[in-house]
Chain A
């Protein structure tokens, strides 16, 4: 759905991102940064501990298995670095986008004609040379600037005077200029866009650094990233698992000493690192950043990660009818003759009556009548009779021929005034159309009633399929329209939405959202007008159109640069993808532990209890019987598990960044699928992978 975008997705392994990410991975070793991620922090502390003890043992000349310990240390550090690298990569992709955005913010100057808080009246019109030239970064909220043609708009703001065409391609990627004017719903301008013609007087809406683009940059870079509620809950669970494993591993040393042995810090740390959920712990923040990034790729900017997450939970989608579901204007759908009238006669009259009508309705009537291939010439001497609010009819007068089309009661009065008769068959036709939510226009030639034009709203193609998809996701769609309930019902049925809100006022919208939220549902809506602002603010996900007013953009928590209301569907999918990716990788991470146990435990216990040969059987170690994978040696078993544990982070970076594919299936089907892939797969995959790594380790004579 996204149009050509300036925020093109970079290739996953773009060197321009990889190189700085590798450097960042090192920088992120700073314990203060690491402490935010309890799982990886434990890995770092463990790695540090093993490294220091190794050096200490070497220094005091204690017997050390240098080859094994060194490899262990290297892979433990790699585990931390790989996790940091994943995060840095996600941030790098964001930064690449931010750089594009930042170009727009290159320092411009502005002509300030009134400072904030200054009450002096403004001279209307554009006075060349008035005001002071200041740097855009010095502008404060409330300042008024004037921007002539060819200049960049210095900051986000509201037009208070003037009309101009503006090139917004820098943020929307849409090359056609848009018209911006004071008052109404098209009065907001964004800093960094360019005035092409005329001039604008703009009141600055943001202090420097808090403008729209600034916020976008901060968010895509991940600098302002705060953990979302769900991420916090998951972090707690991961921390709890880490604690359990910490105790389970730490208590092993006294248990081993009970048997007269000692396991040593190195292998205990190795076991701990393999057991704690490093896979998800290492990728968790990358998943969050990547979710934001995907949104930007769809030309949607979110003001918080929380909003992206909430998008996955949306139960109710409120969509404006006009412009979203329908084309927004009524179009002639059918010509219905009064019995006894030839269809061609009606078509001609309808066409003549509409030729002079420049409204979309009028044009659509002409188009419809020409569909049969007929051409209707304007009679000589024809005079157009335009539509007026008083007559509620339009048509032509050509000599004594009087052709009219209009609202049925007005036309009936017109016919009666001419002494004509109203056929009994007319009213049922008119009522029938009105009953279906359409608009009937009666066509007459002189005093003779010919038939009725059926005007109706036209649903955009493909909408029904999209709503089916939403329904499959478990999302209820609600159409909002200013139409009467009857019209609304027809369109709703035709488009396949679940419900509609007719004769919607801003208050009604707000009340509807409130009612839905009271029932525990999460509501998403789109809007562009200032009067949408309260509802956008109230909705759990409020997507403002970029073409909308500043008030609307401020109220919502997302802005769609393409101003495409159906984008909500993609937004919801991105939200769901984010949650699914987290859940799937967590499940995978925990399921991996089973195989890791079977590779490490036999190896580390194998030195214990070797003494207890019973029943005449020599038993080097009873534990080696647990080595179900038949790994080569205790050392290679431990190394293989640690190497697998580190490499799996790298292997899963693409999945973390791209997200688990969302399919609009029911929850049960999705769950079954993901449980098989990530749960069962998570149990089985490491058995194979660790065995292969073990073969490699022994092949290279490393363990």
Chain B
């Protein structure tokens, strides 16, 4: 690891840790209903919303009611988005006169944004009208992030409460997280982005005369408003096809750093919220430490392999030694503005979290450099993770770690005074099983069917015995990455894969859509069921015999469980993709 990367990581995680405390405490106060300054200003608006919507803000939900409200809200908003996308041609805010979005693409995109995945089988600027982008998609960027945080808070409440069946009111939580957390932050953030050069306009494409005299239309639109929540809500769906590599989405090194920072801001803050709400701050920091360790290991690994570059090119005479004017390494698919370290940091962070925004092409990474983002997603995006989703995901791993290791101290495993029973374990198992099934089975289906293979870009140079399709490990990686990204609700891609084309509109649209939907909502139901089960239990006061959930031992245990469970599940498939590709190159 170079000194500059070391400094970058130190500054980055130092700032994250610093920002985490006030933001985490603020979020705690928002959800425990304690008075905040913003609460005094915006309180009347909040009450007005409840009155208008007929919500009894004092009535709390059981886990089933909470889950039902979450599902109803998500499915309903997904339908609205679907309709807007299909009908955008007839709706205002369409200065480039784009046609309605094709049926399968509309389904895939609506699912994608509802599930906080933001997988994009299209180029935003040439497919979506301004209205679709700014209203349909951006609102989902808010809602899906809000829902994630609500579910995480409901789970933390379930853990911290005892002998109750109430987890809070979903509608109240949803309104509060938007009104007090997401909206105010995004307003400020969007203005900052504009100051850096991100555009925000409702005017149509700019017309430009190129050097050789041709007229070029440069597509633009309301970008900053979408960009802010895209990062802060770990959504990742770019306004432009090039995502955060586009100069109008991410113009400067400062905007680049702030964008990466904003991906982790809320997920990291939720660690502090966890510690505050369960009244065990050290536990929150232990979880934070575990996440930080895995994140740094991943980023350093990406940077290492990207700096190393591609040995095949060395054989062809490419420069393999970094110098002042040549960074060497693998610069394919990377912005010169950001360089290898800036791209590695972005790639690690965007896949640790379920963001999926990119400032470089993951598909062009070296095999093992590209393995890391894929593995990050496959671990369940619990390294800070998606807003809310990362927190509830990591808590599932905490439960499994506590269950496995808790037995080793000679007691029925207990987490923060709650004894773990077979129901908790069954639900946690479901949480781990579903994404693993979705990823592995759909990937197998993808490479086993002609329609699935049709989307693959990378093929072998020569024919391969027993096949007609010139298989290459990187082709498998593209499919594996796509389904990992969908089931993990990430949204980034090995973009060589053509997931939507006029010839094959259905296969990936449908199966990625199923992956996204079932990678999100059944897990949310399982999490809320665990929350309900936890809330019911009595709390056992901690004693010298209770399992310690803070300190280096616990942090190490949590890291080990996350890595071992994730790695054991995906190691065989990864062996046939990036790992063998690596050995082929070396």
Contact = CB atoms under 8 A, between A and B. Distances in A.
5 closest A-B pairs (Cβ-Cβ)?
A: A474-B545, A583-B407, A260-B466, A576-B410, A240-B429
Given A583-B405, A584-B408, A259 B584 contact: no
Given A247-B440, A519-B541, 17 more contacts: A233-B403, A234-B407, A236-B426, A236-B429, A247-B441, A249-B572, A254-B445, A474-B545, A580-B410, A584-B408, A586-B407, A608-B580, A611-B462, A611-B464, A611-B465, A623-B575, A675-B408
Nearest to A605: B575
A622 B572 contact: no
A649 B440 CA distance: 30
B425 interface: yes
A646 to B, nearest CB: 20
B79 interface: no
Nearest to A624: B583
Contacts of B543: 315, 474, 476
A251 B548 contact: no
A584 to B, nearest CB: 6
A614 B551 CA distance: 48
B79 to A, nearest CB: 32
Interface stretch (A61-69, A110-118, A439-447, A660-668): A660-668
A320 interface: no
Interface string A225-246: 0000110111011011001110
B425 A667 contact: no
B406 interface: yes
Interface of A: 229-230, 232-234, 236-237, 239-240, 243-245, 247-249, 251-252, 254-261, 271, 275, 309, 312-313, 315, 471-476, 518-521, 575-577, 579-580, 582-584, 586-587, 590-591, 593-594, 597, 601, 605, 608-609, 611-612, 614-616, 619, 622-623, 625-626, 662, 666-668, 670-672, 674-675, 678-679
Given A237-B403, A259-B467, A580-B409, A623 B422 contact: no
A259 B471 contact: yes
Contact of B546 (A245, A474, A582): A474
Nearest to A597: B571
Interface stretch (B214-222, B430-438, B493-501): B430-438
A237 B433 contact: no
Nearest to B406: A583
Contacts of A254: 444-445, 447-448
A475 B545 contact: yes
A543 to B, nearest CB: 19
9 contacts: A229-B412, A245-B568, A254-B444, A256-B576, A584-B408, A587-B405, A597-B568, A601-B571, A625-B583
A670 B408 contact: yes
B472 to A, nearest CB: 8
Nearest to A609: B580
A579 B467 contact: no
Contacts of B476: 255, 258-259
Contacts of B420: 233
Interface residues on B, range: 35 or more
B553 A233 contact: no
B543 to A, nearest CB: 4
Nearest to A471: B544
B473 interface: yes
B538 A520 contact: yes
B508 interface: no
B50 interface: no
A248 B464 CA distance: 25
Given A243-B433, A255-B573, A260-B466, A583 B583 contact: no
Nearest to B468: A260
Contact of B312 (A257, A605, A615): A615
B466 A608 contact: no
A601 B585 CA distance: 19
Contacts of B576: 252, 255-256, 259, 605, 608
B516 interface: no
B557 interface: yes
Given A248-B572, A671-B405, A678-B408, A520 B546 contact: no
B99 interface: no
A622 B580 contact: yes
Contacts of B569: 244-245, 248
Interface in B548-586: 548, 551, 553, 557, 560, 564, 568-573, 575-576, 579-580, 583-585
User: From DSSP, what is the main secondary structure of chain A's interface residues?
Assistant: helix
Interface string B295-313: 0000000000000000110
B239 interface: no
Contacts of B541: 519-521
B443 interface: yes
A666 B462 CA distance: 63
B539 interface: yes
Residue in A236, A243, A255, A257 with the greatest tally of chain B CB atoms within 10 Å:
A255
A684 B448 CA distance: 37
B429 A473 contact: no
Given A605-B575, A623-B580, A472 B544 contact: yes
Contacts of B407: 230, 234, 579-580, 582-584, 586
Given A240-B429, A671-B408, A260 B544 contact: no
A582 B445 CA distance: 38
Residue in B422, B462, B551 with the greatest tally of chain A CB atoms within 10 Å:
B422
A258 B443 CA distance: 11
B417 interface: yes
A668 B436 contact: no
B540 interface: yes
B562 to A, nearest CB: 13
B245 interface: no
Nearest to B586: A625
Contacts of B445: 254
B409 A521 contact: no
A312 B403 CA distance: 15
A271 to B, nearest CB: 8
Contacts of B440: 247-248, 251
Contacts of A591: 564
B465 A260 contact: yes
Nearest to A256: B576
B56 interface: no
Contacts of A587: 404-405, 408
Contact of B548 (A256, A611, A667, A674): A667
B315 interface: yes
B203 to A, nearest CB: 48
Contact of B572 (A261, A601, A662, A667): A601
Contact of A609 (B412, B422, B443, B473): B473
B410 A577 contact: yes
B404 A259 contact: no
